[in-house]
Amino acid sequence: MIVSVVLYNSKTCSIVVLQSLKEYCGGDYVNINASNTECVTAMNIYNEMVLQINVLNILEPNCKLAKPRKIEGRRSLADLDPIDIPLTELKNGSAYWCREYNHALSGIWANDRRVRDALQVRENTTGVWKRCNATLAYSKNVLSSVPFHLNLTKTSLWALIYSGDHDFSVPNIGTENWIHLLNLTTNEYWRPWFVDGQVSGYVCS
């Protein structure tokens, strides 16, 4: 479990829990067999431990105001839709800063009648605009983008691949594994990356 390594390194999750997941779930933490009671139990414990964590940045406050969900469920970016943040909370101020507040007014702006008229949104064709829209019906599901990136490596394009180390929704370990699948030549191994004389991260090329 890629997430597990990130959580254990940040001391968010017990090594005992992570070992149980690895032992009982056999590496599959998404399509869990309901009859595998040991795996289900381990996943429930794991999900309960990370339930109140901000999955996009484990160091930031968990500000999502989504409805309660079952422990067995999986969180999605739609749960973090900032449109659900009450305006009274923004107006009166909050005890702590939330990144979602940066986008809280986007829904109000995009659904304003004058804005919709200016953007020439046709009547009765679209409903309420949402920043994270999970209602679009796609007939094709791209399971992996690696083949597309492999094609791009055959061109003269340059790419900068960035991944934060406190995001366990898309953790840096997953990014590293994805890069390895591209079978690229490494000219320079991990070294500090400096900004204004301070280490801001690590880079390889």
CATH number for the domain including 163? 3.40.50.11320
Is pLDDT of 67 > 70? no
Q: Residues 69, 13: one domain?
A: yes
pLDDT given at position 146: 85
Q: Residues 67, 83: one domain?
A: no
Measured between alpha carbons, how far is 200 from 125 in angstroms, rounded to an integer? 46
Range of the domain at 191: 146-203
Residue type present at position 32: I
Across residues 182-186, what is the average pLDDT? 82
Is pLDDT of 62 > 70? yes
Q: Residues 78, 124: one domain?
A: yes
Could you tell me which residue, 10 or 86, shows the higher pLDDT?
86
The number of domains in the chain is 3
Q: Which of 136, 157, 176 lies at the terminal end of a domain, its last residue? A: 136
pLDDT given at position 1: 43
Q: Residues 112, 52: one domain?
A: no
Q: Of 34-38, 108-112, 142-146, where does mean pLDDT reach its minimum?
A: 142-146
Q: Residues 84, 128: one domain?
A: yes
SS3 state at 188: coil
Token output for 107: 């829904």
Across residues 140-152, what is the average pLDDT? 84
Q: Residues 86, 103: one domain?
A: yes
Q: Which of 25, 56, 73 lies at the terminal end of a domain, its last residue? A: 73
- 0.85 exceeded by the pTM? no
Q: Which of 47, 73, 99 lies at the terminal end of a domain, its last residue? A: 73
Report percent pLDDT > 90 for the chain.
12
Is pLDDT of 115 > 90? yes
Query: Does residue 141 form part of some domain?
Result: no
Is pLDDT of 118 > 90? yes
Query: Does residue 79 form part of some domain?
Result: yes
pLDDT given at position 135: 75
Q: pLDDT for 95-104, tens place per residue? A: 557 777 777 7
Q: Positive or negative, the Cα torsion across 132, 137, 141, 147?
A: negative
